[in-house]
Chain A
Amino acid sequence: MANFTMVDQSTCIACGVCGELAPDLFNYTDDGISYAILDNNTGVTEVSEDLIEDLEDAFDSCPTDSIKMANTPFNCKKDEAS
């Protein structure tokens, strides 16, 4: 199950939809850009089972596909890639 998340802040348009659908997972910087709350947008902290539906709703609704989901922590992916 995809239970790690982070926001691609280079494509986020600060529309506010993710924070509305998953308020425990996403918040906004002073510029309105979204970030994942759990791990300050590093994508290394597992999202708990009870928040997965909220995460999927936010993922589905992001108008720029800026919310990323993965089965493994995002830093592992980077390590694998490098």
Chain B
Amino acid sequence: MNRTSEVFDITIIGGGPVGLFTAFYAGMRQASVKVIESLPQLGGQLSALYPEKHIYDIAGFPKIGAQELVDNLIEQMNQFEPAICLGESVEVVEKEEDGVFKLTTNEAIHYTKTIIITAGNGAFQPKKMNIPGEEQFQNKNLHYFVKNVSEFKGRKVVLFGGGDSAVDWALMLEPIAEKVTLVHRRDKFRAHEHSVELLKQSNVEIVTPYAPTELVGADRIDKVVIQETKTGESIELEVDDVLVNYGFVSSLGPIKNWELEIEKNSIVVNSRMETNIEGIYAVGDICTYDGKVKLIATGFGEAPIAVSNAKVFVDPTAKLQPLHSTSVMGDKEDAPKKETVTIG
């Protein structure tokens, strides 16, 4: 078959905590693994919605910060150097004649022998402003994420939003941009008090209570029209870039069209975490079975089951029961030392 990219053993759809642990475990089982995540960052709900909250029901951690858990999972996963594709949403899944799956995302085409869906509540997308001009300026100078701080150097940036993300980015961009204006539709910000205090002391221009009503420009946004929420009075702000920080929305989206058996927005799996399509597995909050409990802790438990069954599916000579990690990782960590001894 004429394929333009590598066929991976396991492709994981969703880079939340369970997806990250699944990727680690796929590495443990010596499978080649790729992770596809819709946001430009890993961590799923934990990073997108509550990075600073504490989680108390992760085995072995009496208490751990959500982002700290994500960072640990990434470190654990990276021991096996998986392929990571950020900012890509899988739109179409097709099974080719030889059984290999072809995944079409908004950016690329991927090939894989098996799929493990760890998409939680579906793909996250940034919340939109829903005002005239918004569609037109996407991928131009309207941003929902900061990929590279330096692209705002010397520019007039208007930020919208009142949460931690908006305030933190305003503070990050303030020393780099020519001017940063933060517009929020209420006088009070819901970001951390300490961040708001720093904001007030900074050179960021705070404009409240205003909400955006229109983005104006030909090829790029030249100015934004904002309206005072109480009096209705409108003013215009000249801009080089607009950054929107309204949080995220999640939805199952195209997953519903992949001919998977779905019950109450969850994918039905059996005790092997297999879906109704051979070679596609689901674990974590997105899967359901009799007695299912939706927790990170249970998702972590389901991951090795799905990976080990996928491993046997890809290589029928492999054993379902994995070796203990003390053996696998011990050998892996010892490997470079042995090599050094041999050379020496």
Q: Is B136 an interface residue (CB 8 A)?
A: no
Instruction: Given A63-B124, A64-B121, verify A16-B249 contact (CB < 8 Å).
Output: no
Asked if A8 is at the interface (CB within 8 A of a chain B CB), the reply is no
A-B contact count (CB 8 A): 43
What are 7 A-B residue pairs whose CB atoms fall within 8 Å in the complex? A16-B50, A20-B53, A56-B186, A63-B121, A63-B247, A63-B249, A63-B250
A20 proximity list for chain B (CB < 8 A): 50, 53
Which residues of chain B (191-231) have a CB below 8 Å from chain A? Answer: none
The size bracket of the interface on B is: 20 to 34
- Contact A63–B248 (Cβ < 8 Å): yes
Q: How far apart are A69's CB and chain B's nearest CB, in angstroms?
A: 14
B residues lining the A interface (CB < 8 Å): 45, 48-50, 53, 120-121, 124, 127, 162-163, 186, 188, 190, 246-251, 285, 294
Name 9 extra pairs, CB < 8 A, besides A61-B247, A63-B49, A63-B124.
A13-B121, A13-B250, A14-B294, A16-B50, A17-B49, A60-B247, A63-B45, A63-B121, A64-B249
Measuring CB to CB, which residues of chain A are less than 8 angstroms from any residue of chain B? 13-17, 20-21, 32, 53, 56-57, 60-61, 63-65
* Contact B188 A53, beta carbon cutoff 8 Å: yes
B-side contacts of A14, CB under 8 Å: 294
Q: Is the interface of B mostly helix, strand, loop or mixed?
A: loop
Residues of A contacting B248 in the complex (Cβ-Cβ under 8 angstroms): 63
Which A residues lie within 8 Å of B48 (CB)? 63
Residues of the A chain whose Cβ atoms lie less than 8 Å from the Cβ of B127 = 60
Residues from chain B with Cβ under 8 Å of A56 in the complex: 186
* A contact residues around B120 at 8 Å (CB): 13
In the complex, what distance in Å separates the CA atom of A74 from the CA atom of B251? 25
Q: A14: shortest Cβ distance to chain B, in Å?
A: 7
Residue in A15, A60, A65 whose beta carbon sits within 8 Å of that of B50 in the complex? A15
**How close is B224's CB to chain A, nearest CB, in angstroms?**
19
Q: Which residue of A lies closest to B189 (CB)?
A: A57
Q: Which chain B positions have C-beta within 8 A of A13?
A: 120-121, 250, 285
Give the Cβ gap from A7 to chain B, nearest Cβ, in Å.
15
Do B50 and A17 touch (CB < 8 A)?
yes
A13–B190 CA distance with the chains assembled, in angstroms: 22
- Cross-interface CB contact of A64 among B163, B246, B250, cutoff 8 Å: B250
